[in-house]
Amino acid sequence: MVVRTRDEVSTEIAAADGMPDDGEARRLGHACRSRIRNNLVWYLFVGPPLILLTIFVAYPTFESFRQSFYRQAGSELRFAGLDQYRRLADSGIFWNALGNTALLGISFLALVVPLAVVIASMINRLRYGGAVLKVIYFLPQLTSSVAVAIVFNYVFQPDWGLLNGFLRKLGVDALPQWLADPRLGLTGSRAAVTILAVWAGLGWFVLIFLVGLQSIPIELYEAAAIDGANTFQTWRAITLPSLRPTFIFLLMTGTVDAMSRFGDLWALGGPGGAPARSLQSVVVYMFQVGFEAGDSNLAAAIAVVFFMLMLGVTLISFRALLVKEFRLRPRRRRRLAS
């Protein structure tokens, strides 16, 4: 007669029922605990940024949406529906600020993008001194926007400014008013702050275009040289088309940055965007309404409208600039499949 232990009998019963034995169960439990510990490390890395994002981005965004539907009645908030948005729709100051934001953003991008492409192409062809020029062009990015605005305030002052002093020595009688002129023109306040923005942001655009230029395969230029193409033809037929992803990136990020300008405009024109609100962008107007007038509910409505505008511009830019890339992908896949 064969005597079997309890463990052997339990193993046979578990095998007959299709259940793992104690040893396999321990191995599975150990593997599960090991997987949980490994995942816990990644959760510890992701957790703090997620918490900060929730506290400083998600919650303020939700609170702005919520407050835009209320109005302050004494010491309590009362639901007002869309009243704050109707106030904005009827406000000429808001539409003026919106127009200033669009005008300053478009003029900035229209100047800085072509200028940065040309400068980056010239630096990329240099054998010596390219690194020094990169540092020189990028230095304004390391300077505070308020400090830059203070310097340009001295440059563009109509009476004692550096630029008008130079023009006066050249014999120019009708001196431009620059920061004192609210009219649209090449010598008005908007032109002055556009020059400031181009000077401050040019280095970043040049640096990104240089990265794009250095990623273009050298074989393309060698083939163009064999075919007899000159420098301009090579630049137009190879360099510019190869920089399409760089153009897309800079146009999208540059649009967002141009629409959210605040520091330099506030330093030059104050919350009122002087002269005559010509320098008052949407962000500056939101600051004036929220902190000077103390109307946090209307400021929240401005923030919501501005958020929706930024989202719309981003989606339109994404569709207009990247739709060609996404349309080509299925065709490429079908070719590979065939």
Show the tokens assigned to 271.
Answer: 């919350």
Q: Could you give the percent of the chain with pLDDT greater than 70?
A: 86
Q: For the segment 140-180, what is each residue's pLDDT rounded down to a tens digit?
A: 888 888 999 999 999 999 888 899 999 999 988 888 999 99
* One-letter amino acid for residue 251 of the chain: L
Report d(CA 87, CA 84) in Å as an integer. Answer: 5
pLDDT value of position 248: 86
* One-letter amino acid for residue 308 of the chain: M
For the chain, the residue count is 338
Query: Is the per-residue pLDDT at 251 higher than 70?
Result: yes
| DSSP state for residue 293 in the 8-state scheme | S
Contact between 182 and 188 (Cβ < 8 Å): yes
Query: Is the per-residue pLDDT at 62 higher than 80?
Result: yes
Every domain of the chain and the residues it spans: 17-79, 93-337
Q: How do strand 70-73 and strand 76-79 relate by DSSP bridges?
A: antiparallel
**Placement of tokens 């065939």 in the chain:** 338
Torsional class of 60: left (φ above 0), alpha (ψ -120 to 50), beta (otherwise) = alpha
pLDDT value of position 29: 65
Average pLDDT over residues 221-230: 88
Helix ranges (DSSP H) in the chain: 6-16, 22-53, 59-67, 83-89, 92-124, 130-138, 145-156, 162-169, 189-214, 218-226, 231-234, 240-242, 244-259, 263-269, 282-287, 296-337
| DSSP state for residue 183 in the 8-state scheme | S
Report d(CA 77, CA 51) in Å as an integer. Answer: 28
Query: Is the per-residue pLDDT at 289 higher than 90?
Result: yes
Contact between 244 and 154 (Cβ < 8 Å): no
Query: Is the per-residue pLDDT at 19 higher than 70?
Result: no
Report d(CA 150, CA 143) in Å as an integer. Answer: 12
Contact between 275 and 61 (Cβ < 8 Å): no
| DSSP state for residue 128 in the 8-state scheme | S
Residue 20 pLDDT class (50, 70, 90 cuts) = low
Contacts of 231 (CB under 8 A, 6+ apart): none
Show the tokens assigned to 154.
Answer: 């001295």
Report d(CA 148, CA 263) in Å as an integer. Answer: 10
* One-letter amino acid for residue 276 of the chain: A
Angstrom distances, CA of residue 56 to CA of 39, 50, 242, 261? 26, 10, 39, 20
Beta bridge partners of 71: 78
pLDDT value of position 285: 95
Right CATH number for 93-337 from 1.10.3720.10, 3.40.50.620, 3.40.50.300, 3.30.565.10? 1.10.3720.10
The pTM of the full predicted model, rounded to 2 decimals, is 0.80
Average pLDDT over residues 207-227: 90
**Placement of tokens 């702050």 in the chain:** 193
Show the tokens assigned to 234.
Answer: 């090579």
pLDDT value of position 265: 93
Contact between 68 and 297 (Cβ < 8 Å): yes
pLDDT value of position 37: 74
Smallest Cα–Cα separation from 66: which of 300, 303, 286, 289? 300
